[in-house]
Amino acid sequence: MKAKQNENNKTITKKDRFYEDLVNEIKTDFERRREERRSLEQQWNLNINYLSGNQYCEISPTGDVLEEENYYYWQNRNVYNHIAPIIETRLAKLSRVRPNMSVRAAGGEDSDLKSAKVASDVLKATAGRIGLDTIISKATLWSETLGTSFYKVLWNANKGKNLGEIDGVAVKEGDVDIIAISPFEIFPDSLFKEDISDLKSIIHARAMDVKDIESIYGVKVSGKDIDVFSLTSTQGVSKQSKITNGIIHNAELVIERYERPSRQFPEGRVVTIAGDKILHITNLPYQNGKDGARDFPFIKQCCIQQAGMFFGVSVIERIIPLQRAYNAVKNRKHEFLNRLSMGVIAVEDGSCDTDELTEEGLSPGKVIVYRQGSNPPQMLSPGSVPIDFSYEEERLENEFITISGVSEISRNSTAPVRATSGVALQLLIEQDETRLTQTAENIKFAIKHMAKHIIRLFKQFAKTTRIMKIAGAGRRADVFYYNSSDLNSDDVVFDTENELNSTPAQKKSNIYELLNSGILTDKDGKLSARTKAKILEILGYGSFENAQDLTTLHINKANEENVKLMDNLCEVDSYDDHEIHITEHTRFLLSGEIVGANADKIKQRVMAHLNGHKDTLKTNAIKLLDDLKTD
């Protein structure tokens, strides 16, 4: 390989020159993207300030969020934060958006049905194992505050069960790892492409400790202090900035540029740099796209999507002008009240000691000495507080409701004065839920794509047989085995409707209404044992005083027999509750779960087993009649 000598007589190879050019090219690209979205970062910083209560700040011409100065030293600058309770209420409502997911079978064959069930179980087990609810809550907090958040779905080879050791190093089976990312770390190649699928490349930049960089990549870099929000060294952060800077010491900026597959790079490319060094160059690592294609490991979640824009918008941006006006009205009103209570004193020049009056005011019983022949100090008439202050304050409070979509019934737990009937209150609640529907659908869309990424990663990496546990019926732990060959479908669907309109209290209320209407009872007006067990489970009393434990055990045993009958005959036990078993086996026959080439044989086995329960029940009845006749 040809080499070239530099000024310090160090040999520079073509490889070194290539790496140097690549680092410079990525740095230039990163700076361009950061400059293009600088105005968005300014708005995000302002959102964080207003949410945290720093509401006397503004974006300066230099791009920093700076504190505004008082016009007069005596002006009140109290903050009456309406933004925080609005966001907290929205987060509380959106926390219910946790849809149950399942995988739809690719066909009607037994193998397709089995694959769909295994994939559904893998989703449920993975969601519980990695704490998916907590991850979604973190991402939702970012999206509600800044308008957008991201999920990074990775395969972590250092997670999962321990398989053994090689040369003293533990070998794990690997597992899915999902990280909630703020929009401060994501840089698209264009701000005017709405979806990640439209991007040709995307950059993930973050500050990392130099020890972590060396541990992960095996490369030593020099450290410095970096702000986690602006991703710049502390020298570039204004000291007047109002935002609380999260400084990481002895760190370096790590830039990962993901490039979509192209003619030059058929499997895509990921280039990772830190400082002036290349840390890693590889193909796109995950076959997480459709039909096994390689794609970016990122999923976007928006609060409110903007047409023709990559980043979404937060409700906070709409509320900030109202919050400013509300703070101004409340403070001017309090200043007026201060004038009423403290008073304004008029003093003739030179008639008395004005310094003493300034410090002590006109306290009760105070003796004022003034110059002979001059006018004594007197209180000016302050008038009364204009009613316009109250009108403007009330109007602004109503505008908070209009713009945020969160009414006082949700935010303050108080009913509006004009809404006196239960129907009116219910309509107000439904209107609140409707305003949140778009955000809730964005969250569900992100969760759906996340589930597809999870299945595709397990299909790519779970080559050996694995064991997982999920919560089964009757609060049992069901164990199942699988490998990548069992995951043939990633058509994720939701098993639940809009969770915003289905609170636990509303579910219980619906159950009570169904009970009162008689829909759940049989022709004799009685509830079956299975129905009672299901109702108690829905109401949260699945094992209430162990009253339904026996019934639940019989239902679970019947369901296990249904699984066994898919392959072999199953004997009827004398201790079975035959009526419950007959109900469960009949439900299994009518459920449509028995499909495929062997469906007729399976139905014959189930019918034979079902008739066994019926014959045993009939025999027991005849024996009981004979015993009664004998007595």
The tens digit of pLDDT for each residue in 43-64 reads 999 999 999 988 888 887 777 7
How do residues 484-513 score in pLDDT, each as one tens digit?
777 877 778 776 655 555 556 666 777 777
How do residues 283-337 score in pLDDT, each as one tens digit?
999 999 988 899 999 999 999 999 999 999 999 999 999 999 999 999 888 888 8
What's the whole-number average pLDDT of the chain?
A: 81
Percent of the chain with pLDDT over 90: 31
Which of 176-180, 543-547, 582-586 is the least confident region? 543-547
Per-residue three-class SS string for 577-606: CHHHHHHHHHHHHHCCCCCCCCHHHHHHHH
Q: Evaluate if residue 125 carries a pLDDT over 70.
A: yes
Q: How confident is the model at residue 77 (pLDDT cuts 50, 70, 90)?
A: confident
CA distance 551 to 549: 6
Provide Rg for the chain, Cα atoms.
34
Q: Is 381 exposed, middle or buried (0-12, 13-18, 19+ CB in 10 A)?
A: exposed
Q: What is the DSSP string of 357-425?
A: HHHH-S-TT------TTSPPPEEPP-----HHHHHHHHHHHHHHHHHH---HHHHTS---SS--SHHHH
Distances (CA, A) of 323 to 320, 385, 404, 521: 5, 22, 12, 55
Q: Evaluate if residue 472 carries a pLDDT over 60.
A: no
Angle 251-252-255 (CA atoms, 0-180°, nearest 5)? 140
Beta bridge partners of 272: 256, 280
CB neighbour list of residue 171: distance below 8 Å, 6 or more residues apart: 162, 163, 164, 165
Distances (CA, A) of 199 to 35, 481, 597: 18, 38, 45
How do residues 319-333 score in pLDDT, each as one tens digit?
999 999 999 999 888
Q: Evaluate if residue 27 carries a pLDDT over 80.
A: yes
Q: Is 408 exposed, middle or buried (0-12, 13-18, 19+ CB in 10 A)?
A: middle
- What per-residue confidence (pLDDT) applies to 242? 42
CB atoms within 10 A of CB 395: 12
How do residues 111-121 score in pLDDT, each as one tens digit?
677 778 888 88
- What per-residue confidence (pLDDT) applies to 237? 45
CA 481 to chain centroid: 30
No. of helices (H) and no. of strands (E), the chain: 16, 21
Q: Evaluate if residue 476 carries a pLDDT over 60.
A: no
CA distance 487 to 480: 13
Which of 117-126, 414-423, 436-445 is the least confident region? 414-423
- What per-residue confidence (pLDDT) applies to 254? 95
CB neighbour list of residue 206: distance below 8 Å, 6 or more residues apart: 185, 228, 231, 253, 254
CA 129 to chain centroid: 16
Mean per-residue pLDDT for 563-576?
Answer: 83
Q: How confident is the model at residue 151 (pLDDT cuts 50, 70, 90)?
A: very high
CB neighbour list of residue 514: distance below 8 Å, 6 or more residues apart: 520
Contact status, residue 451 vs residue 123, Cβ threshold 8 Å: yes
CA distance 318 to 38: 19
CA distance 148 to 309: 11
Mean per-residue pLDDT for 586-598?
Answer: 75
Contact status, residue 522 vs residue 532, Cβ threshold 8 Å: no
Closest by alpha carbon to 142, among 336, 370, 314?
A: 314
Domain ranges in the chain? 497-630
Q: Evaluate if residue 371 carries a pLDDT over 50.
A: yes
Q: Evaluate if residue 430 carries a pLDDT over 90.
A: no
Contact status, residue 215 vs residue 42, Cβ threshold 8 Å: no
Considering only residues 479 and 351, tell me which one the structure prediction assigns the higher pLDDT: 351
- What per-residue confidence (pLDDT) applies to 269? 96
Closest by alpha carbon to 407, among 439, 437, 430?
A: 430
- What per-residue confidence (pLDDT) applies to 514? 76
Count how many Cα atoms sit within 13 Å of the Cα of residue 282 in the half-sphere of its side chain: 9
Two structure tokens written together for 288? 């997480």
- What per-residue confidence (pLDDT) applies to 178? 95
Answer yes or no: pTM beyond 0.85: no
Mean per-residue pLDDT for 451-468?
Answer: 86
What kind and span of H or E run contains 157?
A: none
- What per-residue confidence (pLDDT) applies to 66? 79
Contact status, residue 51 vs residue 45, Cβ threshold 8 Å: no
CA distance 440 to 316: 17
